[in-house]
């Protein structure tokens, strides 16, 4: 990732998350969902606990580049405590943001909004969206067992 080409503030926030990721690890008793990004070699292990239609707890592990690690850290911050519907909206907004589309309300994304610069590096978009895609898949598998209220669009 040509991080040097990104705005320095953005770069600082991204590097801080990748060096000290939030919610890093595995949840006790959870079977992590594993997803990889073959174009970069990133691998994420995501554990999610859903209760009453909300993300009650979340943790990630694995190995990846600074963008994928930072994005996963930012994602866990953004979605913790949110309802499944809110998570779907955030995921959509993030996907649009990193593809360079205008997103009206980036506040809810928290630090994840700092990844908007990734849109200038198409090869890195998958690094940024890996954790969000893993969350989507994890919630879909929850839905199959009837324990969450995820609605498919």
List of E strands, 17-148: 33-37, 42-51, 54-63
CB of 82 to Zn ion, least distance (A): 25
Tell me how long the chain is. Answer: 153
**Nearer residue to Zn ion within complex by CB, 32 or 64:** 64
**Nearer residue to Zn ion within complex by CB, 37 or 91:** 37
Contacts (CB under 5 A) with Zn ion, residues 62-81 = 65, 68
* Residue from 27, 30, 40, 43 in contact with Zn ion (CB under 5 A): 40
Does the protein bind Zn ion through residue 127 (CB under 5 A)? Answer: yes
**Nearer residue to Zn ion within complex by CB, 43 or 103:** 43
The 8-class DSSP code of residue 64 comes to: -
Q: CB–CB of 67/17 below 8 Å?
A: no
Cα–Cα distance, 27 to 38 (Å, whole number): 25
Does the protein bind Zn ion through residue 3 (CB under 5 A)? Answer: no
Q: Given CA atoms 71, 77, 80, 83 in this order, what sign does their dihedral have?
A: negative
- Annotate each residue in 85-124 with x if it binds Zn ion (CB under 5 A) or - if it does not, as one string: ----------------------------------------
Burial of 43 (0-12, 13-18, 19+ CB in 10 A): middle
CB of 129 to Zn ion, least distance (A): 10
Q: Given CA atoms 114, 119, 121, 124 in this order, what sign does their dihedral have?
A: positive
Task: Give the binding range for Zn ion (CB under 5 A) out of 22-30, 59-67, 89-97, 141-149.
Answer: 59-67
User: What residue ranges bind Zn ion (CB under 5 A)?
Assistant: 40, 42, 65, 68, 127
């Amino acid at each position: 990732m040509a991080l040097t080409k990104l705005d320095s503030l953005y770069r600082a926030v991204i590097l801080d998350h990748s060096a000290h990721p939030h919610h890093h690890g595995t949840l006790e008793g959870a079977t992590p969902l594993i997803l990889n990004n073959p174009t970069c070699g990133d691998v994420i292990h995501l554990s999610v606990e859903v209760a009453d239609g909300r993300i009650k707890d979340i943790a990630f592990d694995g190995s990846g580049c600074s963008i994928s690690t930072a994005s996963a850290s930012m994602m866990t911050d953004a979605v913790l405590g949110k309802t499944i519907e809110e998570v779907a909206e955030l995921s959509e907004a993030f996907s649009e943001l990193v593809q360079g589309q205008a997103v009206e309300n980036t506040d809810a994304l928290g630090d994840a909004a700092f990844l908007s610069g990734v849109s200038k590096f198409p090869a890195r978009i998958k690094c940024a969206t890996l954790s969000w895609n893993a969350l989507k898949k994890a919630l879909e598998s929850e839905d199959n067992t009837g324990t969450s209220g995820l609605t498919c669009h």
